[in-house]
Structure 1
Amino acid sequence: MPTPTAPNIIFIMADDLGYADLSIYGQTEFETPHLDALAREGVRFTQAYSNSAVCSATRFALMTGRYQYRLRGGLEEPLARAGRHHGLPPEHPTLPSLLRDHGYSTALIGKWHLGSLPDFGPLKSGYDRFFGNYGGVIDYFTHKPGVGKDVATDLYEGELPVERAGYYTRILADEAAAYVSAPHSKPFFLSLHFTAPHWPWQGPDDEAVSGQLTDLMHYDGGNLRTYARMVQALDAAVGQVLAALDQAGRRDHTIVVFTSDNGGERFSKTWPFTGQKTELLEGGLRVPTLLRWPARIVPQVQDQVTVTMDWLPTLLAAANAEPDPAWPSDGENILPILTGEAATIARSLYWRYKSNSQRAVRQQQWKYLKINDNEFLFDVVADPLERANLKEREPRVFEGLRQLWLDWDRRFLPVSDEVFSHGVTPDIQADRYAPEQRQRQRP
């Protein structure tokens, strides 16, 4: 059971938000005052990474605290085409299930995107309550995952479809504010996963645009002004939830985390990086990340290299809980670093992406990157734009990281065309692929 001082936890995840899309990270075209205030009151990370350059793969890592490549559903984006066959196995321990077993109330408000009903879903993976969309994206006004009268809405309370009118970002804020304001007899863990600012490019006043869409993706639509209004609506939504938390008297003893599932897309600002979503350049992986816990953590700018899967061991430690020893986390508990009880630690982080045969390793200041047949070595601290290829100048570092990636890759499920096919039997035995009979691996 949790201790009497166990903190509440609110984990907020944006969708496709670029590293510099918040004014405190460098956005100059518009302001994000609520998230800027959160950053000033807590921890602003400068070297936080997503586990993947795409959406659901990162969410697998968040939920399990492990590399997503241990599960078939976590191999890039098969859920976009075969979400009824792949998903997060209900028997796999998750961040919400471990907290629930430790005495927490748990809720997910917003985007799931980890497999479809009837086999997969938030209520099957540790959440007591769910309100939101099961798939990857919906229209902000119709709440449909596509265009047309015959397309059903993807908005659910639990496992039952519901109807709500309004702009989706605001609907989620209303639900989350009500949740944190409600009486709670136990500490709570709230996952608040927005779809903003993911396409379709619709601001709060663009309901007329919604009715004109012929394709939900509408890559030829949108503009920088619309994107700005989407991010500002996201900022206002976070502000609304934080205000409700304050009014409920829960500010000091609540951990608030804000991050993104991957780097930005078409209209995002990723300076000082290049690249975007689906690319293993820094702009596709580096994400704005904030944490506030007034009772224990002083405001700071934190240079510790961290990644999505670190949140499971870190938040469990804050709740005086631990990962399931049969499913050890690939992430690190960074809480002692944030509280000043430990120094920063060196990390080795790994990525792969089938498109363009991309590979990447980050170790200390070095990054090995492969795109198609081109290989690079960058010092991403001195050269965040990844322009100076140092593989000829530092051959030993280059070859060492290249071999590290090959050794690491052999431990996990391969990405093949079969992964993305329909009608396949889901392989939910994630532990089959844990190296050395589930023993902890430190690359």
Structure 2
Amino acid sequence: MRSFGIWFGLWVALMGFGECQGEKPNVIVILVDDLGYADLGVQGSDVVKSPHIDKLAKDGVILTDGYAPHNFCGPSRSALFAGIWPFRIGAQFNAPKDYWDNLVGLPLGYKTIPETMQEAGYQTYCVGKWHLGYTPEHHPKNRGYNGFFGFLKGSWNYRLSKMYDEQLDDYDYIYRGFKRVGGIKYITDNFTDAAIGYIARSNRLGKPFFLYLSYNSPHAPIISLKEDLDPEVPANRRNYVGMIKSLDRGVEKIRSYLEKLGIAENTVIMFSSDNGGHKHGAINEPLRDMKGSYYEGGLRVPWFITWPGTLQPGRTFTKLATHMDIYPTLENLAQVPEGMKNPTLVGVDLLPYLRKVGQSTPEASGATHPFLYFGGPAASGKSVGMIRQGRWKLVIINENDNSENELYDLRADLSETTDLSDDRPGKATRLFDIWTEWNSENILPVYGRSRAKNPLLLELSVVADEVVITPGVPISFEAAGSSADGETVTYFWETFIPVRVDEATYRDVWTDGVTSTSRTEDSISITYSNPGDYIVRVTIQTERWQLWEDVQIQVVPE
């Protein structure tokens, strides 16, 4: 009996840990897009008025030396969600719009934060910009989220519900789950409302929630509401600053709603930007350069963490931190057992450090990271990047000649104005050698900046051209699919009513009341029991590629 008790206890720990722990905090990660380092009041701006974001920062801990994992959008987000350097997994480019290539986006096979949080008993929601892939496998609801409201691409016109894509001659949409939605008035406010709706849903369910609120503001195009424009702001920045006002309003609404529900003290909020400020209106001073750079202006970002009653407010954290620390931090917040933690993570749990902020002895001892690494190889194989150790930073301009690289003392020279590589050659050499060894394990991009040509070929035909039938009469379909690369092609059939065409793009929507001779052969017969309009789709797939064709069928009464 004793051995049974041990094994039963182990089984509970492994199979039901999400339901068997004590109260777990809710988590909100607010990631804004291209925000300038100095574009908040709390960050020193005398132009931007952001009282509610400022209060969020002052109610918690301000991370002064926090870095995004990459200097532009998609790779930075891939690293945050996978918890590993983007160049290590070949995700160093923004994902081009591609519904057919499974290599494009955050690589499949890497466990994501929402998947871990789901296993730990959390309701998981994604609101806003995705930018991590377009294929069905990459859709947020197929990568760990219970709910999704947002868009899949990298930018959006703030006032539109759909956007025309000239290159592909089709449209991009705002989705709720798998369905297109309309009625967008101003997307930042719509995202705030959706976030509050998901918080309400989770509260009704009585479960902790993980909310990823990915505002695309203040990313271009620079569009703001008239009522958010401040006439005291210079005209060339007025619209950009107005976009930040809408973010500030969103933060206030969310925090007020948490207070209304009585869950504010059990909710951790992280606020940061996905990379440095963009040239379209952002101010990064005193940091050097902008988004896309390995100088501080491309990578160092505003970052605040608030947890009322747990983290002492009004503190500043000066140790090194990276967004890749978010995953291991959330694992421990979610009480994931040691044996079930993601073994590929490269970050650290920040909470033990943050809890000690203001306690002189613990705070002064121990580094979060001995080194922070950035960069790696482009498609050409040439690598650039940077490495930081404490106060020292080496910018890698030439991976083959360290004499061209630049060394900075960030404690004395935050703006990176004075290259000290000639004065401290030993330090420059040591950092270069460490970065070179680290970079040796990075890989070339697994996808390019533009779509690769799909090698699949597919023809769909209806036997005897019967596209109008009566209930109970079988209708036969044939498909001829092949790959120019000679790969084995797998067939997958589905049928659905036309209004569910969006859902069919992302999941199986086989209609009830329908029988079929097969779902996976190249030739099948389908029998419909009810009149109506239907779509039959055949998808052919290889490990990497997919391609589909549709035909519409009308089932008329006898």
TM over 0.5: same fold? yes
Q: 1:218 aligns to what? A: none
Change (3 A) 1:84 1:363: farther
Q: Which amino acid aligns with 1:158?
A: G
Equivalent positions of 1:285-434 (< 5 A) are: 285-299=299-313, 300-321=315-336, 324-325=340-341, 327-340=343-356, 343=363, 344-345=366-367, 346-352=369-375, 354=378, 358-371=384-397, 374-415=404-445, 420=450, 422-423=452-453
Q: Which one of the candidate residues 92, 112, 115 is aligned to 1:75?
A: 92
C-alpha contact 1:69 1:412 (8 A) present in aligned 2: yes
- Residue 69 (structure 1) shift: 1.8
Instruction: Specify which structure has the higher proportion of strand.
Output: 2
> SS state of the match for residue 205, structure 2?
coil
**Whole-angstrom distance in 1 between the partners of 2:219 and 2:342:** 36
1:186 paired with 2:207, answer: yes
Q: What are the equivalent positions in structure 2 for 1:227-246 lying under 5 Å apart?
A: 227-246=240-259
Q: Distance in 1 between matches of 2:24 and 2:344?
A: 23
Please report how far the alpha carbon of residue 67 of structure 1 lies from its aligned counterpart in structure 2 after TM superposition: 1.1
Of 117, 139, 155, the match for 2:135: 117
Equivalent in the alignment of 1:203 = 224
Distance between the aligned counterparts of 1:199 and 1:146, measured in 2? Answer: 17
CA RMSD in angstroms, aligned pairs only = 2.6
CA distance in 2, matches of 1:413, 1:206: 48
Given that residues 406 and 421 in structure 2 are in contact (C-alpha distance below 8 angstroms), is that contact kept between their aligned partners in structure 1? Answer: yes
Q: Deviations over 1:35-76 (max 9, x none)?
A: 00001110111000000001011111111111122323x213
Q: 1:82 to 1:370 in 2, by over 3 A?
A: farther
Deviation at 1:142, TM superposition (A): 1.2
SS in 2 for 1:243: helix
The aligned length equals 412
Distance 1:255 1:150, change over 3 A: same
- Distance between the aligned counterparts of 1:327 and 1:315, measured in 2? 14
Tell me which of 290, 299, 315 is aligned to 1:276.
290
**TM-score of the pair, normalised by structure 1:** 0.87
Question: Aligned partners of 2:285 and 2:164: how far apart in 1?
Answer: 32
Q: Distance in 2 between matches of 1:334 and 1:383?
A: 26
Determine the C-alpha separation between the residues in 2 that align with 1:303 and 1:84. Answer: 44
- Aligned partner of 2:555 in structure 1 is none
- Superposed counterparts of 1:120-199, under 5 Å: 120-146=138-164, 151-182=170-201, 183-199=204-220
Larger Rg, first or second structure (1 or 2)? 2
Change (3 A) 1:421 1:132: closer
Letter in 2 for 1:306: A
1:153 and 1:115 mapped to 2: Cα distance?
A: 13
Change (3 A) 1:427 1:147: closer
Q: Which has the higher contact order (CA 8 A, sep 6+)?
A: 1
Conservation of the 8 A alpha-carbon contact between 1:180 and 1:248: no
Which residue is equivalent to 2:115? Answer: 97
Alignment of 1:257 onto 2:278: no
Q: Which amino acid aligns with 2:67?
A: Y
Instruction: Compute the displacement of 1:403 (Å).
Output: 1.2
Q: What amino acid does structure 2 have at the position aligned with 1:381?
A: R
Q: What TM-score, normalized by structure 2, do the two folds share?
A: 0.69
- CA gap of 1:350–1:100, structure 2 versus 1, over 3 A, is same
Instruction: Give ranges in structure 1 of 5+ residues lacking alignment.
Output: 208-221, 429-443
Q: Does 1:23 align with 2:38?
A: no
SS of 2:137's equivalent in the other structure is: coil
Question: SS where residue 407 of structure 2 aligns?
Answer: strand
How far does residue 409 in structure 1 lie from its aligned partner after superposition?
Answer: 0.8
Q: Secondary structure of 1:80's match?
A: coil
Task: Measure, in 1, the Cα distance between the counterparts of 2:291 and 2:212.
Answer: 22
In the alignment, structure 1 residue 14 sits paired with structure 2 residue 44: no
Q: Distance in 1 between matches of 2:306 and 2:117?
A: 19
Please give the residue correspondences for 1:51-66 in structure 2 after superposition, counting only pairs within 5 Å: 51-66=69-84
Q: 1:141 to 1:418 in 2, by over 3 A?
A: closer
| C-alpha separation in 1, matches of 2:214 and 2:342 | 28
Aligned counterparts of 2:100 and 2:146: Cα–Cα separation in 1: 22
- Counterpart AA for 2:92: L
CA–CA separation in structure 1 for the residues paired with 2:395 and 2:163: 34
Inter-CA distance 71–338: structure 2 relative to 1 (3 Å threshold)? same
Evaluate the alpha carbon distance shift between residue 338 and residue 84 of structure 1 in structure 2; reply closer, same or farther with a 3 A threshold. Answer: farther
What are the superposed Cα offsets for residues 333-362 of structure 1, whole Å, 9 maximum, x if unpaired?
Answer: 111001119545143111116499532101
**SS in structure 2 opposite 1:114?**
coil
Distance 2:114 2:445 in 1: 28
Instruction: Return the offset for 1:422.
Output: 1.3
Amino acid at match of 1:347: P
Q: Which amino acid aligns with 2:294?
A: L
